[in-house]
A and B are shown apart, each in its own frame.
Chain A
Amino acid sequence: MLSKVVVEDVLTAAMSTGGDFAEIFAEDKDDTDMILIGGKLEKSISGKIYGIGIRIFKGFNYVYAYTNDSSKNNLVRVAKEAASAIKGVKKDIVLDFNRGIVNNIHPIRIMPESVSKRQKVDLMKTAYESAKNYDPLISQVKVQYLDNTQNVLIANTEGKLVEDQRTRTRLLIQSVASKDGMIQSGLHFPGALKGYEYYDDIDVKAYAEDSARMAKTMLMAEYCPSGRMPVIINNGFGGVIFHEACAHGLEARCIAKKASVFSDKLGQKIASELVTAIDDGTIPNEWGSSNIDDEGNATRKNVLIENGVLKNYMIDKFNGRRMNKEATGSGRRESYRYAPTSRMTNTYIAEGKSTLDEIIAETEYGLFAKYLGGGSVNPATSEFNFAVREGYIIKNGKIDRPVRGATLIGKGAEVLEKIDMVGNNLDFGQGICGSTSGGVPVNVGQPTIRVSEMTVGGRDSDR
């Protein structure tokens, strides 16, 4: 994307006022976004995201600038302007690039650009038909198809010069069920670091039908009762609980400023012994994976918690300075418009021994959160919240009835201690995690787990 000469000149300009590290992140990304509603293709839009971000460090401070104009003159001007915010004495730098070969562990078989738009529309229509025909109560179905291919070049004054290509595709299927003025919806949103071959690997019809089933089930459901109770959180996207309740607090962004409940706790027991948690950006072709992170470091498998003991944080280069620790391949950003920071990739709780049936059978009364929605957390207190997309009340070890409108709230630090059963059915769900460096694709994951007590927000009382 940029020649070595341009990279050298830009980095030299960036260091001209005494910065101690400079980096270039160049991005060229092609995006496709299509929306089908009511069986008709409503929207189709595609185009190019293109720009260059320049970052300069001096000690615990950084400057970031970006531009869309990749001409050498402009880039050098932007770098100099950014450098002017650094007050120091120029040091001579010698750049000796070690052009890194990126080992591609996420092969793409069918590039999305090689597939016609018509074929993508047909796939969306298949999903639409499957969901719409599931039940007469299904009043509307929305299908969104997304794919993108992002080319990045990352170079820095430590001699790094690497390039990578990431191709992702995703399908969102939302079914709406309605009856007598009541409306409920069901949603699935599978995605992967894959090309169009992904749709040979997954059963689109099954996802579509299940989104319709979820909408219909929730339409027939009563409001969820409120109060404190045991909560069983299902596998797959249920892992969003660990993502929100704990893992955000393990990102160096919070740890470096001691603004997390998990600051200064390495080596200490912070969770139930049943909990081993991992962030792994290397899992082949998973939604949150990539060969290198957005600082140019190879992604890694980072064990965060092992049998309840805190082992590691997720660290980016800048926050690593304050912590005096090496980066862990966790520096990510949505695009060149953001300076990278510590982020998750594919984060999950490792498998335990219980089966789903055992977990339900051993619960006298509680909530079974089959599918969770999104949520958020305050890392300083670890207080989190998230929505239950599909829930059931469990009575006497059996599923009693579906319930809607539930929210789970609590403190991550407390919930981790209260995990008293861990299933043997690890699975992943896909999400876009929003934080200071923008929205990045992440997998959340876990086997089915049980939390002995949590606050469930609902509308009715029960028992």
Chain B
Amino acid sequence: MDKKKFIKSLFEKGKKAGFVEMEVYMTSIMKQDMNYYDNDVESFENSLSEGVSFRGLYNKKMGHSYSEKIDESSIDMLVNEAMGNAKVLDNDDIDTIFAGSKEYKDILTYNKLSEKITVKEKIEFLKDMEKTGYELDRRVKAITYNMINDKTNSIMIANTKGLNLKYKSNFYKYAINVDVEENEDIKSAYRYELSNDFTKLDGHKLVNNVINEAVSMLGATSIQSGKYPVILNSYVSAGILDAFAAIFSANKVQKNMSPLEGKLGEQIADTKVTIVDDPFMKDGAFTKPFDAEGVATKYKKIVNKGILNTYLHNMKTANKDNTQSTGNAYKASFNLPIDIAPTNMYIEIGKKSYDELIKSTNRGLLIIDVQGLHSGLNPISGDFSVSAYGYEIIDGRINRPVNQITISANYIELLKDIEDIGNDLKFIAPHNGYVGSPSIKVKSLSVAGE
């Protein structure tokens, strides 16, 4: 069904049912994923999916509903469900439908060149990587994932206040998982490259790095429990920041579910730490001109030289705090309610290179991967305890691989305990926000091992 007609009909029926203001949020996601295994394309997935989310003010309450069946038959369901949902809400929040920001930044979110990349090119790329991987090191036992994900996302918002916005973005992820084996010791490593430009994916470098990493972990053992100076490499630091992103959400703060409650304007991190949210970042997976409520996005320093500058707001939380939305309204999917998330958020780089950070460490640990970030942390208290591996550093040099350990801390305490920041900013796969960090050195972390 024609989308314009669908929206018109939906708004008409909604108005008749008693909705005062209404909005639709539509997404269209095109995906093409392929995995290459054992000299052949093992899986090839191709899809286009569309979803519509409807919300409207009914007796001053915002009712929500959604459907993936975008045709006349869904309109009554959308209106009735949204009304039913509005009727049971009893919060005091003031919800609004937004008429639009004064201006929206004209930014590039979509790489048109991506349309020229053929399936054949991608297959050749993966074939080359598999071959390269097996040739690089005889200890490579299996390349279990060798995969390109290609995703194009289109978002459209239209409402009865006259707002009509859309943008399109695209992203590639090339991921590889390698198992290596020596003397019955098996180690595996998984890494990926991200870009909205296929030609910028440096597969050879990635394959090389991932195999080196897996091989370097062969023979790893645990280490004595205790407190150690620890370098978290950029991926690990970004992963932990990503997992704790919700602590900056005004929604969590207002619900007494953030350790940063009441800390606005206070020193919450070492003065070396500046955390930026930049929706205009070039090549950012979350680069966008407007947020899920249609509010223009903006650049901001969440933490500036250690001081908490702002929480991340949508219109509802901003209204409650008597401030402006920061343009961080977010819908993880069309079928989820509006929440808050960063856009492209990262810790600003410091001066030392990765190698210099290692050199400046007398005795300590370099952590290159952690597992269990989805379960081993508490975003309400800031406590975390996760499984980790990496290397022992002695006299400024990598001494030996270490695994079967956990690292534990409170993230807020960790931010205050940062001794040095590297200049190697890296981003992890986009999730609810596109989050990055350079490697960071922390004075002391609890490490559990032997």
Cα–Cα, bound, A399→B40 (Å): 56
A355 within 8 A of B: no
Q: Are B186 and A117 in contact (CB under 8 A)?
A: no
B144 within 8 A of A: yes
Q: Mark A395-432, 1 if CB is under 8 A from B, else 0.
A: 00000000011110111000000000000000000000
Q: Are A61 and B69 in contact (CB under 8 A)?
A: no
B64 within 8 A of A: yes
B161 within 8 A of A: no
Looking at the complex, which one of A31, A43, A257, A385 makes contact with B371 (CB distance below 8 Å)? A385
Q: Which of B370-418 contact A (CB under 8 A)?
A: 371-372, 374-378, 380-381, 383, 385-387, 403-409
Cα–Cα, bound, A223→B413 (Å): 15
Cα–Cα, bound, A43→B119 (Å): 42
Cα–Cα, bound, A60→B93 (Å): 54
Contacts of A118 in B (CB 8 A): 87-88
Contacts of B70 in A (CB 8 A): 68
CB distance from B161 to the nearest CB of A (A): 21
Contacts of A461 in B (CB 8 A): 225-226
A6 within 8 A of B: no
Q: Are B88 and A457 in contact (CB under 8 A)?
A: no
Q: Are A44 and B408 in contact (CB under 8 A)?
A: no
Contacts of B65 in A (CB 8 A): 45-47
B329 within 8 A of A: no
Q: Are B259 and A386 in contact (CB under 8 A)?
A: no
Closest to B222 in A: A455
Contact size range, B: 35 or more
Q: Are A42 and B47 in contact (CB under 8 A)?
A: no
Cα–Cα, bound, A65→B404 (Å): 40
Q: Are A117 and B87 in contact (CB under 8 A)?
A: yes
Looking at the complex, which one of B38, B85, B87 makes contact with A46 (CB distance below 8 Å)? B85
Contacts of A374 in B (CB 8 A): 372, 374-375
A387 within 8 A of B: yes
Q: Mark A195-208, 1 if CB is under 8 A from B, else 0.
A: 00000000000000
Q: Are A46 and B376 in contact (CB under 8 A)?
A: no
Looking at the complex, which one of A63, A65, A85, A381 makes contact with B188 (CB distance below 8 Å)? A381
Contacts of B376 in A (CB 8 A): 373, 375, 385-387, 407
Cα–Cα, bound, A211→B163 (Å): 44
Contacts of B256 in A (CB 8 A): 139-140, 176, 178
Q: Are A61 and B375 in contact (CB under 8 A)?
A: no
Knowing A47-B335, A385-B387 touch, does A41 contact B88 (C-beta < 8 A)? Answer: yes
Q: Are B91 and A66 in contact (CB under 8 A)?
A: no
Cα–Cα, bound, A279→B64 (Å): 38
Knowing A48-B66, A85-B46, A117-B87 touch, does A459 contact B446 (C-beta < 8 A)? Answer: yes
B51, B63, B374, B385: residue with the most chain A Cβ atoms closer than 10 Å: B385
CB distance from B110 to the nearest CB of A (A): 22
Q: Are B45 and A407 in contact (CB under 8 A)?
A: no
A82 within 8 A of B: yes
A440 within 8 A of B: no
Q: Are B40 and A82 in contact (CB under 8 A)?
A: no
A182 within 8 A of B: yes
Cα–Cα, bound, A43→B85 (Å): 8
Q: Which of B171-191 contact A (CB under 8 A)?
A: 179, 186-188
Please choose the segment from B9-17, B73-81, B203-211, B299-307 that sits at the chain A interface, where 4 or more of its residues have CB less than 8 A away: B73-81
Q: Which of A195-230 contact B (CB under 8 A)?
A: 223, 226-228
Q: Are B85 and A40 in contact (CB under 8 A)?
A: no
A258 within 8 A of B: yes
Knowing A44-B89, A117-B84 touch, does A457 contact B257 (C-beta < 8 A)? Answer: no
Cα–Cα, bound, A308→B256 (Å): 48
Looking at the complex, which one of A81, A176, A455 makes contact with B46 (CB distance below 8 Å)? A81
Number of interface residues of A (CB under 8 A): 79
Q: Are A49 and B90 in contact (CB under 8 A)?
A: no
Contacts of B53 in A (CB 8 A): 47
Contacts of B46 in A (CB 8 A): 63-65, 81-82, 85
A393 within 8 A of B: no
Q: Which of B32-85 contact A (CB under 8 A)?
A: 37-38, 40-51, 53, 63-70, 74, 77-78, 81, 84-85
B448 within 8 A of A: yes
Cα–Cα, bound, A400→B449 (Å): 23
CB distance from B50 to the nearest CB of A (A): 5
Looking at the complex, which one of A185, A227, A380 makes contact with B225 (CB distance below 8 Å)? A227
A88 within 8 A of B: no
B368 within 8 A of A: no
Looking at the complex, which one of B37, B88, B91, B448 makes contact with A456 (CB distance below 8 Å)? B448
B255 within 8 A of A: yes
Looking at the complex, which one of B41, B74, B385, B447 makes contact with A387 (CB distance below 8 Å)? B385
Q: Which of A433-456 contact B (CB under 8 A)?
A: 434, 455-456
CB distance from B226 to the nearest CB of A (A): 8
Cα–Cα, bound, A261→B186 (Å): 9
B336 within 8 A of A: yes
Contacts of A373 in B (CB 8 A): 375-376
Q: Are B144 and A61 in contact (CB under 8 A)?
A: no
Q: Are B385 and A406 in contact (CB under 8 A)?
A: yes
CB distance from B253 to the nearest CB of A (A): 12
B45, B179, B222: residue with the most chain A Cβ atoms closer than 10 Å: B45
CB distance from A374 to the nearest CB of B (A): 3
| 11 additional contacts (CB under 8 A) given A85-B46, A407-B408, A457-B407 | A44-B86, A44-B88, A44-B89, A46-B85, A60-B40, A61-B40, A68-B51, A226-B225, A374-B375, A376-B371, A383-B404
A: residues with CB less than 8 A from B are 31, 33-34, 37-38, 40-51, 60-68, 81-82, 85, 117-118, 120-121, 139-140, 142, 176, 178, 182-185, 223, 226-228, 257-259, 261, 337, 339, 373-376, 378, 380-381, 383-387, 404-407, 409-411, 434, 455-461
Interchain residue pairs A-B with the least CB separation, the first 8: A457-B406, A385-B387, A374-B375, A226-B448, A47-B66, A457-B448, A44-B85, A385-B372
Enumerate 23 A-B pairs (CB-CB under 8 Å) in ascending A order. A41-B91, A43-B337, A45-B66, A61-B42, A66-B49, A85-B44, A117-B84, A140-B257, A176-B380, A183-B380, A339-B43, A376-B372, A383-B403, A384-B387, A385-B371, A387-B372, A405-B385, A405-B408, A406-B385, A407-B387, A409-B387, A409-B405, A461-B225
